[in-house]
Amino acid sequence: MRRALALVALAVLSLAPHARPCGACTTAVVSGRATVDGRPILWKNRDADDLHNQVVYRDDGKYAYLGVVNKGDAAGLEIWAGINSAGFAIMNSASYNLDDVETVAEGAIMKLALQSCRTVADFQRLLESTNATGRDTTANFGVIDGSGGAAYFETGLRAFTRFDANDPAAAPDGWIVRTNFSEGGDPARGSGLVRVERARALVGGLAAGRTLSAQTLLGTVCRDVANERIGSYPLRGAGPGYAYVSDSINRPDTASATVFAGVRAGEDPRLATMWVVLGQPITGVAVPLWAGAGTVPAQLAVGKEPAPLNAAFDRVRALLFPQWRGDLKRYVRVAPLTGVLAALGPLETANFARADAELERWRREPPTPAAQQALQDDIARTTLEAVERTLRSLAPPGEPTE
């Protein structure tokens, strides 16, 4: 079995385009013992050169799956966060203090995992099968599964270390945060040190207050633009006209945010939900998707042009980051920021209310693929319409919104 997995892995990795890795991501794996509802959560703010992410549905393996991809990757050759029909979800952050090589194969490994893995243990076996052959990867992979499993795998060229979020020794409070270094790597190297401090403080605060959920994680941690090292807190509305946010969790290069709300052991894995913002979290609204629906709404789907929701969020970004040359792109306008979040926040709250109501019903009566498709399509459509209306009210007089 392991030999077969290794052969399949080599075949998949050889097909990957090996795009240049992104510079930074902020991520978390959360056990159900730390969440409001006892279900695990997986989170990734993806920072990338290609800011136009899309979502693809593929049925080219043992399990069908949804995945965040770069614009135009209809085959899903590189998946940057995804979930399959068995309730298994995966994401990553590049690690820069493991093996001293450029990491290039994370997206291909995650595609293979979604195609073939049902559990956290399956993913561990996949990594074991490729230890001997080697991987062009130095990354922290976070995974959850349909049985409540939740773990990180700090993964180098020929070895990995597992950190289990359900193990009090590895995760005393039930959650683990990673940016762009590994705890088992060279302590003198790596990056994302400012972000990891802030993310740990915020996730830890939610967990301690028993308010940690997919919704609160998206609403606070994913959208955080503070930099405690320089005393910058743009959301408080005070200070200079611009704030430096390149060391914040929500960065100028953040291309998408994905939060996977898992299921408890024994629940229908088809109810595991993928919440995604195609763009910087502060510029967008999360919408829910389900692998069981078998499709992706047109507003997020893969294509040659930016997905419609991503294009709308780009216009919001232009209000907050009007200057995009060189170092100027590292600064957000402070004055309109709270107004943007106040306008977009209720849209996301409404999306969660609709999804939560249906999920509660689906736990009593399992949904059909058509029911899941209808709900995600309608939420995506109404969200885009609402964002476009909001854009017209946010744009200064005389400034084009198209």
- What would the DSSP string read from start to end of 29-82? EE-GGGSSSS--EEEEEEE-S---EEEEEE--SSS-EEEEEETT-TT-SS-SEE
Q: Which residue in the block uniquely carries the two structure tokens 């595991």?
A: 272
Per-residue pLDDT of the chain (402 residues; tens, 9 = 90+): 444 444 444 444 444 454 444 468 999 999 999 999 999 999 999 999 889 999 999 999 999 999 999 999 999 999 999 999 999 999 999 999 998 888 889 999 999 999 999 999 999 999 999 999 999 999 999 999 999 999 999 999 999 999 999 999 999 999 999 999 999 999 999 999 999 999 999 999 999 999 999 999 999 999 999 999 999 999 987 678 999 999 999 999 999 999 999 999 999 999 999 999 999 999 999 999 999 999 999 999 999 999 999 999 999 999 999 998 899 999 999 999 999 999 999 999 999 999 999 999 999 999 999 999 999 999 999 999 999 999 988 865 444 443
Q: In what order do the strands lie in the sheet with 89-94?
A: 53-58, 65-70, 81-84, 89-94, 139-144, 150-155, 160-164
Spatial CA neighbour of 329 closest among 313, 312, 317: 317
**Where are the domains positioned within the chain?**
2-394
Spatial CA neighbour of 314 closest among 399, 402, 247, 248: 402
Q: Which residue in the block uniquely carries the two structure tokens 């136009």?
A: 52
Q: Burial-class residue 240 by CB neighbours within 10 Å (0-12, 13-18, 19+).
A: exposed
Asked if residues 143 and 93 have their Cβ atoms less than 8 Å apart, the reply is no
DSSP state of 218: I
DSSP state of 359: H
The whole-angstrom separation of Cα 367 and Cα 96 is 43
Task: Work out whether strand 81-84 and strand 287-289 pair parallel, antiparallel, or are unpaired.
Answer: unpaired
The whole-angstrom separation of Cα 18 and Cα 249 is 25
pLDDT for position 231: 94
Instruction: Retrieve residue 175's tokens.
Output: 């959650």
- What would the DSSP string read from start to end of 134-174? --S--EEEEEE-TTS-EEEEEE-SS-EEEEETT-TTT-TTS
Domain 2-394 class? Answer: alpha beta
- CA trace torsion 18, 21, 26, 28 (10° rounding): 30
Q: What is the pTM of this model?
A: 0.93
Non-local CB neighbours of 168 within 8 Å, separated by 6+ positions: none
SS3 300: coil
The whole-angstrom separation of Cα 139 and Cα 117 is 18
Non-local CB neighbours of 395 within 8 Å, separated by 6+ positions: 319, 401
What ranges in 209-287 are assigned the alpha helix state H?
214-216
pLDDT for position 103: 83
The whole-angstrom separation of Cα 17 and Cα 301 is 20
